[in-house]
Homo-oligomer: A and B are copies of this chain.
Amino acid sequence: MHNYFKMSRRKTIAIDMDGVIADTVAQFIIWYEREFGERIEKEAFHGVPESEGLPNGAVRKFVYMPGFFRTIPVMEGAKEAVLELTKNFDVYIVSAAVEFPQSLAEKYEWLQENFPFISWKNIIFCGDKSIIGTDYMIDDHVKNLDGYSGNCILFTAGHNMGIERHTRINTWKEVIELFNKELEHA
């Protein structure tokens, strides 16, 4: 019997949307090919700020276009893994979406469609994530993790390659493995 049955309260996890449960880079590539007729490889996003992953300033253009956030593909394995996490943790979806206010309703609808088991009570749209008081945060942006006071988990993305100051995970399978270990040691 695992110790975690003794825990006085369920621990809380804040999970980012873009680049973590939403495959935003895949969407950038789809939209770029549709508009410019050219297939960009995902390696174009490696080692550069996300906004520089596409030519023609297309990243900054697409994120303000209706429908962009509403139709992003789900990150591979994210749906099953987040559902699995909800069995032992209180899971919150935390997106720095207030920078793009037109995206707020789209992001809410996207969550309802793809993660219907996440209650509206567990959705947070914010700017600065430093005041999020969860036990864990899974995010691809170091700017979000650096100001956060809990346990940081960096989800690998092209723009965060080479960063070594946070626990890194590469896939949702690895997330589950990591939290299974956390439960064993709780």
Given A98-B124, A126-B126, list of 10 further CB < 8 A pairs? A12-B131, A14-B131, A101-B108, A104-B108, A105-B105, A120-B127, A124-B127, A131-B132, A131-B133, A133-B133
Find chain B residues with CB under 8 A from A99 CB: 120-121
Once A104-B101, A133-B132, A133-B149 are accepted as A-B contacts, the answer to whether A119 and B109 lie under 8 Å apart by CB is: no
**A interface residues, Cβ below 8 angstroms from B:** 12, 14, 92, 98-99, 101-102, 104-105, 108-109, 119-128, 131-134, 149
Q: Choose among B12, B105, B121, B125 the residue that contacts A102 (Cβ–Cβ < 8 A).
A: B105
In the complex, what residues of B have CB within 8 A of residue A120's CB? 98-99, 101, 127
Minimum CB–CB distance for A95 against chain B, Å: 10
Q: How far is the CA of A122 from the CA of B129 in the complex (A)?
A: 9
- Return chain B residues, CB-CB under 8 Å to A101: 104-105, 108-109, 120
Q: Give CA–CA (A101, B122) in the complex, Å.
A: 13
Which one of A99, A124, A131 has the highest number of Cβ atoms from chain B below 10 Å of its Cβ? A131
Q: For the complex, what is the distance from the CA of A123 to the CA of B109, rounded to whole Å?
A: 20
**Are A128 and B122 in touch, CB under 8 angstroms?**
yes
**Inter-subunit contact B125/A126 (CB<8 Å):** yes
Give Cα A101 to B105, complex, Å: 6
| Bound Cα distance from A149 to B134, whole angstroms | 12
B98 to A131, Cβ gap below 8 A? no
A159 to chain B, nearest CB (A): 19
Q: With the chains together, A128 CA to B93 CA distance in Å?
A: 12
Residues of B within 8 A of A105 (CB): 101-102, 104-105
